[in-house]
Amino acid sequence: MTRGDYAVLALCALTLPALFMRYGLPGSTGTQARITTGNAIYAQVPLSRAHIYRVPGALGISEIEVRDGRIRFNSSPCQGQQCVHSGWAKRGGEFIACVPNRVSISVLGQGAGGDYYDSINF
C-alpha cells in the first residue's frame, strides 16, 4: 500500500464513526413512543419500562400498555376496537391511532437515523 492509501484508511477511521453517529442507519426498533390525546402530547414514554398508561380521550380512557420494548392499545372505549386489534408496535415510525377517542401512539426511531417508516398507509 502507498502512503496515500494509508492516509485514506486513517481518514475512514476518523470520519466513519462520526458519520454513523450523525446519520445512523434506519431499521432499528424504537426506544420511546409519543402518546397524544387530541392535538396535544400526553407523554413521551420509554419502551424499556413495562407500564400501563391510562390516557383520557374524547370518549373516555384508552389503556396503553408498554411491555418488552413494544407498545399497544390494551383497551379503548371506542366501538370498532380497531386500535386494540392493531396489536403491538415497536419499530420507529409505527403508528396506531384510536380516531374516535382521539388518542394515538407514535413509536420514535432510535438515534438520529430516524424512523424506519416515514408514514403508515392503512
Partner 1 sequence: MSRIRPGIVFAALFMLCACSRSNDTLYKESGYAMGSLVEFTIYGIDEARAQAAVAAAQNDLSFLHGNFDPWHPGSLARMNSLFALGGRFTAATSVLPLIAKSTELSQRSGGLFNPAIGNLIRLWGFYKDDPPPTGPPPAPAQIAAMLAQQPRMSDLRVTGVEIESRNPAVVLDFGGIAQGYAADVLIEGFKLAGIRNAIVNISGDVRVIGTHGAAPWRIGIHNPRGQGVLASLQMNADESVVTSGDYERFYRYEGKRYHHILDPRTGMPAQGAASATVIDADAVFADAAATALMVAGVKDWHAVAKAMGIKSAMLVDDAGRVYMDPATAKRIHFEIDPPPPVVLSEPL
What is the 8-class DSSP label of residue 91? B
* CA 89 vs CA 14, 19, 51, 113: distances in Å: 36, 28, 15, 18
Residues 24-53 that bind partner 1 (CB under 8 A): 24-26, 36, 38-39
Distance of closest approach, residue 44 Cβ to partner 1, in angstroms: 13
Residues 70-89 that bind partner 1 (CB under 8 A): 79-80, 82, 85-89
57 sits near partner 1 (criterion: CB under 8 A): no
60 sits near partner 1 (criterion: CB under 8 A): no
56 sits near partner 1 (criterion: CB under 8 A): no
Distance of closest approach, residue 87 Cβ to partner 1, in angstroms: 3
Residues 99 and 38: their CA atoms lie apart, in Å, by: 9
Q: Which is nearer to partner 1, 52 or 99 (CB)?
A: 99
Residue 122's CB: how many other CB atoms inside 10 A?
Answer: 8
Residues 62 and 58: their CA atoms lie apart, in Å, by: 10
Cβ neighbours of residue 68 under 8 Å, at least 6 residues apart?
A: 50
Residues 30 and 71: their CA atoms lie apart, in Å, by: 10
Which residues of this chain interact with partner 1, rule CB under 8 A? Answer: 1, 5, 8-9, 11-12, 16, 19-20, 22-26, 36, 38-39, 79-80, 82, 85-89, 91, 93-95, 97, 99-100, 102, 104, 106, 109, 112-114, 116-122
